[in-house]
Structure 1
């Protein structure tokens, strides 16, 4: 459940309250409670805003709020209303973690806490024997035979300790970067953990909806993470102005998982500045023909750390191999937090092989093929299903009325899709679906259409 703490001046109108709420919580978010000071809970503007959203409004005594530890207490507020915090304390009174700290919008202050998020829920949890896998965004049929041969040969060489030199040189060469700007890692997830352990940001922000492991790693390391929620009505496109100027760590994906939206390179680059680390998760960048928005070659941008993975295109989720590119001093700080020999000999061999000219040519052809297969999936979907945003990668995000029940019925019919409600900012009515070959996509779309036709869905949603 999500609790939004609200502080407001007397007489504030509902429209002003709604504008403040929209800035931190999408209107489509399910299971939201508004909480405030008891003397403010009777304010007509607050009550109307709650009614228009369909969210319950709860008032708490000043003494109860004053007992809640908050990161930004105010003596001025305490003198005025009897508690050093209204918004943050009201959000946290029921427990949970603060995900959006005290944020002021005119005469309204809001803060957000979550109590039931599972940031470690991923598509592999959806799988079971006998189900067609549309839940995991790893390319079907991979790794290819030539890459399997490379891995088998590397196993024969595994008696010796891993030598990262050839792989580091290969990655540096293919992206036009210096070797000291390359960090080799046991998958992108390790890079996020290293960022969380090695850095000490004062105001870290994660742009959502997005892959949840970066935020999970930051929270596990004790950082008070805050969120920037991209807006569904804007197609979940990045607005650089939405990121607070004083954010000293910003994390976002491009293309973004789960929306499949690709942010323009210029918009992402606009977030870079001295004194800030900008982590760009490009795990799916090579699924987009030509990689037009990638920042891997932008060594001129201050503090930019680009994270890449071999998992998606090459089908190496079980091998755990990836890398990051960034300023040499930042890479050195992250490497200092790694154990010795962090990447195995087979993983290093895969890095060398997958950065070869032949492999990159194959990856480019696969990206073009993925675009064709994605178009086939979109064309086959029933008209009552909404495609969210403009998808560009190897998966699409769908809006489906009664999504939780639809997902269960799809599972009963032999299809595994990724639930959307564990991504911050999304709801039960969002489902992520992997792009497969057209025959599989058409069969899935037909199954989905049959399920929707049989469900008791209001006529206006059909």
Structure 2
């Protein structure tokens, strides 16, 4: 099995003076209404945090029971809680995808098998080993930007298996198609993040949707007060109908901006993987490892692909930005090829 730097993330690509196309956080800062909510919560920082209202808001937003909800310090904490709480006999991670699930499993002492999807068919989701009792898959998947059909995910469900679906980028897809968040399916865990859409990566806010027995198991290993007062307040604010409507408008705009990026890349003869649906695209360019360094010299940071299992040095992930930024990037790319 090839070695990959599972702890390498897009923030390590960013540097002073570089245009950031490496991190998939859409907004440069939280919107004014969210900043106001957080500022008001500063008055409450003397008290220990209580995520109860946040859990209720999540439950109402997804039509679930509050017992199905665990609020977490971002999606990354959820992966760690699952790795520490469970004792799988055969854990499987579907790659290429966000590497923290596998990193968390390995840190907890679990052996991990990889199911690597193929670029030749656009990273279509296929079968996993029949005896796998813990399976992780992203939807839409980072870094491929592929949105798997909900039917394909349901087909992976079987007695004795826990299917974990990372929907951290689902709210960046207009209408949130193919989501399992609103379905109370036995053996299915859905993980969500607020980081990407609302520009709060530094705040760490996310949640788990699962059967109550599993939620209780995860809560038992969650560090006390891991979800801060500010993060809990952000969850409540971002579950309101007005915020959900704004998120969908942001997703529509991001979709348009992604189409602009994809069209520009293809006009340069760049291979864009699959049918991208997330706020980022995966591209294959021979010699991309060297190109990434030359792009840095030209002022642009993009995400290397060779730290994702299943990819190599010819792959790059590019975040979707507004057209003016994309056009500047495409001009730089044109000059370097």
Q: TM-score, normalised by structure 1?
A: 0.72
1:25-82 deviations in Å (ceiling 9; x for gaps): xxxxxxxxxxxxxxxxxxxxxxxxxxxxxxxxxxxxxxxxxxxxxxxxxxxxxxxxxx
User: How far did residue 303 of structure 1 move?
Assistant: 1.0
What residue ranges of structure 1 are gaps of 5+ in the alignment? 1-112, 453-462
Residue 209 of structure 1: aligned partner: 96
Residue 315 of structure 1: aligned partner: 199
User: How far did residue 268 of structure 1 move?
Assistant: 0.7
User: How far did residue 383 of structure 1 move?
Assistant: 2.8
Match of 1:365 among 239, 244, 249: 249
Residue 106 of structure 1: aligned partner: none
Q: In structure 2, how many angstroms separate the alpha carbons of the residues matched to 1:367 and 1:279?
A: 24
Q: In structure 2, how many angstroms separate the alpha carbons of the residues matched to 1:133 and 1:181?
A: 36
8 Å contact from structure 2 (residues 4, 306) kept in 1: no
Match of 2:177 among 260, 281, 292: 292
Residue 261 of structure 2: aligned partner: 377
Question: Alignment partner of 2:77: what SS?
Answer: helix
1:232-291 deviations in Å (ceiling 9; x for gaps): 11100112xx20111000001000000000000110111112211111000000000111
Q: In structure 2, how many angstroms separate the alpha carbons of the residues matched to 1:243 and 1:141?
A: 38
Match of 1:135 among 16, 22, 36: 22
Q: Which runs of 4+ in 1 moved over 4 A?
A: none
Question: Alignment partner of 1:396: what SS?
Answer: strand
Q: In structure 1, how many angstroms separate the alpha carbons of the residues matched to 2:154 and 2:171?
A: 18
User: How far did residue 429 of structure 1 move?
Assistant: 0.7
Q: In structure 2, how many angstroms separate the alpha carbons of the residues matched to 1:290 and 1:344?
A: 29
Residue 228 of structure 1: aligned partner: 115
Match of 2:73 among 172, 183, 186: 186
User: How far did residue 140 of structure 1 move?
Assistant: 3.0
How many residues were matched structurally? 336
1:74-111 deviations in Å (ceiling 9; x for gaps): xxxxxxxxxxxxxxxxxxxxxxxxxxxxxxxxxxxxxx
8 Å contact from structure 1 (residues 140, 436) kept in 2: no
1:157 correspondence with 2:44:
yes
Q: Computing the radius of gyration over CA atoms, which structure comes out larger, 1 or 2?
A: 1
Q: TM-score, normalised by structure 2?
A: 0.98
Question: Alignment partner of 1:279: what SS?
Answer: strand
User: How far did residue 302 of structure 1 move?
Assistant: 1.5
Alignment of 1:257-296 (within 5 A): 257-296=142-181
